[in-house]
Amino acid sequence: MSSLTEARVSEVRAFNRFYTKVIGVLQAGLLDSPYSLTEVRVLFEIAHAGELETGELRALLDVDAGYLSRILARFENDGLVARRRSPHDARKQLVRLSPVGAATFDQLEKQAAGEIAVLLAGLTEEDQGRLVGGMTLIRRLLGDPAAAGREPYVIRSPRAGDLGWVVQRHGALYAEEYGWGLAFEQTVAGICAAWSPERDAGWIVEVDGERVGCVFCVRRDEETAQLRMLLVEPSARGLGIGQRLVGECLRHAREQGFKRMMLWTRDGLVSARRIYQAAGFALESEEKGEENGLMVTEQIWSREL
Distances (CA, A) of 244 to 219, 222, 227: 20, 25, 13
Q: What mean pLDDT is reported for the chain?
A: 87
Confidence of residue 26 (pLDDT cuts 50, 70, 90): very low
Looking at residue 58, its pLDDT comes to 86
What is the 3-state composition of the chain as percent helix, strand, coil, each rounded to the nearest 5?
Answer: 50, 25, 25
**What CA–CA distances, in Å, run from 239 to 35, 172, 277?**
42, 22, 18
Name which residue leads in pLDDT, 231 or 142.
231
Instruction: Report the share of the chain in percent with pLDDT over 90.
Output: 48
> Quick check: 304 pLDDT over 90?
yes
Q: Where is average pLDDT lowest: 80-89, 165-174, 217-226?
A: 80-89
Specify the higher pLDDT residue, 116 or 151.
116
Question: How far from the centroid of its chain's Cα atoms is residue 14's Cα?
Answer: 26
- Flag whether pLDDT at 30 surpasses 70: no
pLDDT in tens, 245-270: 999 999 999 999 999 999 999 999 99
Q: What's the order of all strands across the beta sheet hosting 81-85?
A: 52-53, 93-97, 81-85
pLDDT band at 27 (very low <50, low <70, confident <90, very high): low
Q: Judging by beta carbons within 10 Å of its beta carbon (0-12, 13-18, 19+), is residue 61 exposed, middle or buried?
A: middle
Q: Which of 28-32, 63-67, 248-252 has the lowest mean pLDDT?
A: 28-32
Percent of the chain residues past pLDDT 70, beyond the cut: 94
Per the model's pLDDT, the better-predicted residue between 131 and 232 turns out to be: 232
